[in-house]
Amino acid sequence: MHTTLSLQSKNICITRRDERTKYNEMNCTSNLKIYHLFIIIDDCQNKIIIFAHEFMCYLLISNLKLNIKNMVNRFILNEVSYFGPGARKELPEIIARLGYKKALVVTDKGLMKFGVANMVTDVMDEAKIPYEIYDEVKPNPTVTDVKNGVKACKAADADFIVAIGGGSSMDTAKGIGIIVNNPDFSDVISLEGVADTKNKCVPIIALPTTAGTAAETTINYVIIDEDKHKKMVCVDPNDIPAVAIIDAELMYSLPKDLTASTGMDAMTHAIEGLITKSAWELSDMFEIKAIEMIHKYLPIAVNEPTNPVGRDGMAVAQYVAGMAFSNVGLGVDHGMAHPMSALHDIPHGVACAILLPTIMRFNVPAALDKYMDIAKAIGVYKDGMTKEEAANVACTEIENLSKLVGIPQHLTDLGIHEEDIPALAEQAINDVCTPGNPRDVTKDDIIALYYKIL
Ligand SMILES: NC(=O)c1ccc[n+]([C@@H]2O[C@H](COP(=O)([O-])OP(=O)(O)OC[C@H]3O[C@@H](n4cnc5c(N)ncnc54)[C@H](O)[C@@H]3O)[C@@H](O)[C@H]2O)c1
Ligand SMILES: [Fe+2]
């Protein structure tokens, strides 16, 4: 654990809480007096923050060292996941086993129109499973989408949610499920960051239709606060879907450009999750495999949309990436991508993808060993290469993949111009993902990075 000690003023200090904040409690004894300390170890901010009524610094420092050594890494996954083309047909058995009665199906109008949602509801119809549909979710969903969904869930008297869609539908389902069981957070905006919800969300069965976000297995959801024009990243273990069904057949109809951009979002998760500050051996194992698979399967999925090899490969790879990044966090690519969606309505995958090669290069000094692993995983490492050379070929190969699958390469292609950069940078430096970046970034760095791809 890379945590440095920074004792703040006596008795009290301020913290920003986010997904990589870990808590610990301990007792210290001095002169027969017991001090109960509440300690927050914040890897993102590289800070240790101590709450206590009174304490003695020298005592704390020695005990804290001990405490850091004993810190545990946490890894949260779905209770159960199903994989394979056609896996949605397991739904009736799963629902019967869990004893659920009536579903709210959360999806979007596009998926209704293209018959993707029907591929799932047909299975439910056949098994006579009652449900009602909420299909008001918009790409990059908003507080309003969640609030309306809560109303729909209550009106339907549903005891579980079936989320069918990309990250937007699954994230909206998480927000709905959390609020129905934690009504104190009905304003939605108080869920930003790490909210202190007490109850698990309404059980969610999540069926992704894009191979990108892995929202079916993450403990995060991302909702736009329309008033502030800002993406709120909400992190809450209570939101993780109970069941994930990774059925690549639901992805065959995904258009070429969306296949490419959502797939590059998954690649961004895998790379940022590999090099982020909180990464460790278990998360590395998943991310490196995901990078290898996405590099191999994404071009097939883009060019041969109904080839099960490419689609299933991507469906599994993005899930594998999500298993890890959900538990260790991301970096400045996501930090800079979120305001692009919030302020300019850029699809999330496109925003992440366009930034990726530039951010990878920026991070070279902080990720040399990991980039060597990436170069090996994607087959561009050659014997005798230095770490710098390996990192360079890894960055170039990811850039080539991005071009190959048709990702736009300039912000101006997306309608973002020089005068937009200050507002983007202001949000990006404050985004919850940014502190996880392996190389520390300033607002000026972020401005320079946006300029590089203008
Ligand atoms: N929860 C997380 O951990 C997490 C991680 C990354 C991103 N996100 C969030 O997820 C959202 C983006 O999700 P996304 O990239 O999956 O896209 P999306 O859910 O916004 O869907 C994009 C479009 O693709 C269409 N679509 C989806 N599947 C289709 C299919 N099989 N056939 C035809 N059309 C299809 C949808 O109708 C929609 O119009 C963003 O809000 C982003 O911030 C969440
Ligand atoms: Fe993402």
Q: Is the CB of 108 under 6 A from ligand 1?
A: yes
Ligand lying closest to the C-alpha of residue 120: 1
Amino acid at residue number 153: C
d(CA 177, ligand 2 centre) in Å: 21
**Mutational test site, ligand 1, from 106, 216, 222, 246, max ligand atoms within 8 Å of CB:** 222
- Contacts of residue 66, defined as CB under 8 A and 6 or more positions apart, other chains included, come to none
CA angle 82, 328, 106 (to 5 degrees): 45
Residue whose token pair is 């069981």: 181
d(CA 15, CA 19): 13
Q: Is the CB of 318 under 6 A from ligand 1?
A: no
Torsion of CA 274, 276, 282, 288, to 10 degrees: 0
Ligand lying closest to the C-alpha of residue 270: 2
Amino acid at residue number 181: N
pLDDT at 260: 98
Tokens of 309: 């090899």
Q: Is the CB of 172 under 6 A from ligand 1?
A: no
Which among 297, 322, 321, 323 is positioned nearest to 310, based on CA atoms? 297
Tokens of 399: 């850039």
- Decide if 320 contacts 300 (C-beta within 8 A): no
Ligand lying closest to the C-alpha of residue 107: 1
d(CA 166, ligand 1 centre) in Å: 3
- Give nearest CA residue, ligand 1 atom 7: 213
Q: Is the CB of 110 under 6 A from ligand 1?
A: yes
Closest ligand 1 atom to the C-alpha of 110?
A: 37
Strand-pair partners of 134: 106
Edge-to-edge strand ranges of the sheet holding 243-246: 80-83, 243-246, 204-208, 160-165, 103-108, 131-137
The model's pTM:
0.87
- Give nearest CA residue, ligand 1 atom 12: 167
What are the pLDDT digits (tens) for 171-213? Answer: 999 999 999 999 999 999 999 999 999 999 999 999 999 999 9
Ligand lying closest to the C-alpha of residue 338: 1
pLDDT at 70: 45
Q: Is the CB of 171 under 6 A from ligand 1?
A: yes
Strand-pair partners of 162: 105, 205
- Decide if 291 contacts 274 (C-beta within 8 A): yes
Q: Is the CB of 301 under 6 A from ligand 1?
A: no
Q: Is the CB of 339 under 6 A from ligand 1?
A: no
Residue whose token pair is 């305001």: 339
pLDDT at 111: 98
Q: Is the CB of 116 under 6 A from ligand 1?
A: yes
d(CA 342, CA 140): 8
d(CA 165, ligand 2 centre) in Å: 15
440 HSE (CA, 13 A, CB side): 5
Residue whose token pair is 């008001």: 136
Edge-to-edge strand ranges of the sheet holding 230-235: 193-194, 230-235, 220-225
Give the chain's radius of gyration (CA, Å).
22
In this prediction, the residues of the chain whose per-residue pLDDT falls under 70 are 1-71
Number of Cβ within a 10 Å radius of residue 430: 14
d(CA 192, ligand 1 centre) in Å: 20
Amino acid at residue number 27: N
- Give nearest CA residue, ligand 1 atom 41: 140
- Give nearest CA residue, ligand 1 atom 2: 215
**Mutational test site, ligand 1, from 191, 245, 348, max ligand atoms within 8 Å of CB:** 348
Closest ligand 1 atom to the C-alpha of 141?
A: 41
Which contacts qualify for 118-125: CB closer than 8 Å, 24 or more apart? 119/88, 119/249, 119/250, 120/88, 120/91, 120/162, 120/164, 120/207, 120/250, 123/88, 123/89, 123/91, 123/92, 124/91, 124/92, 124/162
**Mutational test site, ligand 1, from 111, 112, 236, 319, max ligand atoms within 8 Å of CB:** 111
- Contacts of residue 378, defined as CB under 8 A and 6 or more positions apart, other chains included, come to 291, 292, 295, 394, 397, 398
Ligand lying closest to the C-alpha of residue 330: 2
Ligand lying closest to the C-alpha of residue 215: 1
Q: Is the CB of 262 under 6 A from ligand 1?
A: yes
pLDDT at 58: 30
- The 3-class secondary structure across 94-156, one letter per residue, is HHHHHCCCCEEEEEEHHHHHCCHHHHHHHHHHHCCCCEEEEEEECCCCEHHHHHHHHHHHHHH
d(CA 172, CA 331): 23
- Decide if 217 contacts 319 (C-beta within 8 A): yes
- What's the DSSP call for residue 418? G
Q: What are the φ and ψ backbone dihedral angles of 130, each rounded to 5 degrees?
A: -70, 145
CA distances from 410 to 314, 358, 376, 389 (A): 26, 11, 28, 26
